[in-house]
Chain A
Amino acid sequence: MTLTLTLREAPVVPLETEGLCPDRLADASREEIEALPVWHGNERTRVGEFFAVSGSGDDVRLEGDLSRVKFVGAGMSAGRLTVAGDVGMHAGAGMSGGELHVEGDASDWAGAGMRGGSLVVRGSAGRQLGGVYAGERAGMRGGEIVVHGDAGEQAGAGLRRGLIAVAGRVGDAAGLRMLAGTIVALGGLGARAGAGMRRGSIVTMAPATPLATFVFSCVYRPPFLGLYLRRLRALGLDVSEEQLGGRYARWCGDALELRRGEILILEAGTWPSRSTTARLRSRIGSPPRQSRPASRSRRSPTVRG
């Protein structure tokens, strides 16, 4: 059964609701839920002042205009929480399990410091998606974030583990100082992606120019990427056959750090693959091509060292 909390009217100033998690609401009575504390600006008040509560269970649905409601699902560890519309800042921040579905847009810091579970945003996400709070060494440390729209600047900043996938475009400085983990930007990356990254993978399907502190390695088909992209396709993202079977340019960086991270950029026109083409040609009896037309020079203007 579904527990539904309906916001009666959008708050004038942001409403901070750190207790609105399925695992905290599942066993609570209606009165207990209504008595949970929330902060309306600098005023401490009750959930019941803003939300109408009906139903029960750990499948929680929040309705109304929650674009000024902060910390929805923050710290949740189990259950399912659905936001029927937009949600304010810090949604799913620090969550360690369960599923948080946002049917509209998510504001800044969605999934920041996340440790597990899944966060799905049907619209777009703001800045610092899965990001790192000031003073923290690492941001997201596990789990899965899937955004069907775009994402703002510094998505995956400080990422240590887990997957952030964005169907649209990701803003500037994606993966800023990331430690490990994976960011997939199906719609392309903004400037300075991977700045200061130590390890991890940033994947983009649109042309991109890595920073001068990244060094070109090769063009190849990363074996792990097929698994990731099939998973994203199963989650509802529009992953094309070209993205699944194409070849990716690998750039290593950031050379100012460990240089063990990578940015993988889909090479346009590399699918169908040469082997697929060769198989098709062999069926009709003509020999496969032996060479590629031109060599590339992709040395970054940086000095190796």
Chain B
Amino acid sequence: VAGGNLIMLARDAESALRAAEAAATAMRTVEGMIMPFPGGIARSGSKVGSRYGSLPASTNDVLCPTLRGQVEHTDVPPDVESVFEIVIDGLALEPVREGMRRGLLAAADAGASHVTAGNYGGSLGPFHIHLHELVR
């Protein structure tokens, strides 16, 4: 199960990084999943697809604060200025779910103003992990 993700938003880079680091630390305790990026954290989140046919992924522009003034639609709330992403690859669905659950709670505790995730309309595969269900 590859491409699970957790996206942390916060009011500034320091807060967002602190939340992402807390989430990555909590997620490392789960067996059967890895976070492939250095330190577990991707500074530049990506989306599936791009405007170029040969480029399978590109900047996730709707969640990029720096591009907020340039795109037609943005999902970045007005008081958010930094976004980090944690990408998760697991041996099965359950370790990915458990990793996301622990990361979600840790990020919220560490000061993230928002936490979200993306499947990009099914482009990332058949698995859907809904964050609300993880914390019920």
Chain A contacts to B: CB under 8 angstroms: 214-221, 250-253, 259-260, 273-275, 278, 288, 290-292, 295-297, 299, 304-305
Contacts and interface: CB of A to CB of B under 8 A. Distances in A.
Interface in B67-126: 67-70, 72, 76, 78-79, 81-82, 111
A295 B68 contact: no
Nearest to A276: B14
A3 to B, nearest CB: 50
Contact of A250 (B11, B15, B66, B78): B66
A220 B69 contact: no
B15 A260 contact: no
Given A290-B15, A291-B11, 19 more contacts: A215-B70, A216-B68, A217-B69, A217-B70, A218-B65, A218-B66, A218-B68, A219-B81, A220-B65, A221-B13, A252-B69, A259-B69, A273-B14, A275-B13, A278-B14, A290-B111, A295-B78, A296-B78, A299-B78
B67 A217 contact: yes
B12 interface: yes
Nearest to B13: A220
B18 to A, nearest CB: 8
Contacts of A252: 67, 69-70
Nearest to A299: B78
B83 to A, nearest CB: 10
A260 B71 CA distance: 10
Given A291-B11, A291-B15, A215 B69 contact: yes
Contacts of B82: 218, 220
Interface string B52-67: 0000000000000111
Contact of A295 (B11, B18, B76): B11
Contacts of A260: 70
6 contacts: A214-B69, A215-B68, A216-B68, A288-B14, A292-B12, A305-B72
Contacts of A259: 69-70
A125 to B, nearest CB: 30
A214 B69 CA distance: 8
A200 to B, nearest CB: 14
A203 B11 CA distance: 23
Given A297-B78, A304-B72, A217 B14 contact: no
A218 B13 CA distance: 11
A288 B15 CA distance: 10
Contact of B66 (A220, A288, A297): A220
A304 B68 CA distance: 11
B14 A275 contact: yes
A216 to B, nearest CB: 6
A217 B79 contact: no
Contacts of A215: 68-70
B11 A218 contact: no
Contact of A274 (B12, B72, B76, B79): B12
B11 A292 contact: yes
A251 B70 CA distance: 9
Contacts of A295: 11, 78-79
B58 to A, nearest CB: 15
B11 A216 contact: no
Contacts of B15: 290-291
A275 to B, nearest CB: 5
A203 B66 CA distance: 15
Nearest to B111: A290
B72 A217 contact: no
B11 A217 contact: no
A274 B79 CA distance: 17
Nearest to B79: A295
Contacts of A304: 72
B112 to A, nearest CB: 11
B101 to A, nearest CB: 23
A250 B111 CA distance: 24
Nearest to A214: B69
Given A219-B81, A220-B81, A295-B79, A250 B69 contact: yes
Contacts of B70: 215, 217, 252, 259-260
Contact of B65 (A217, A221, A292): A217
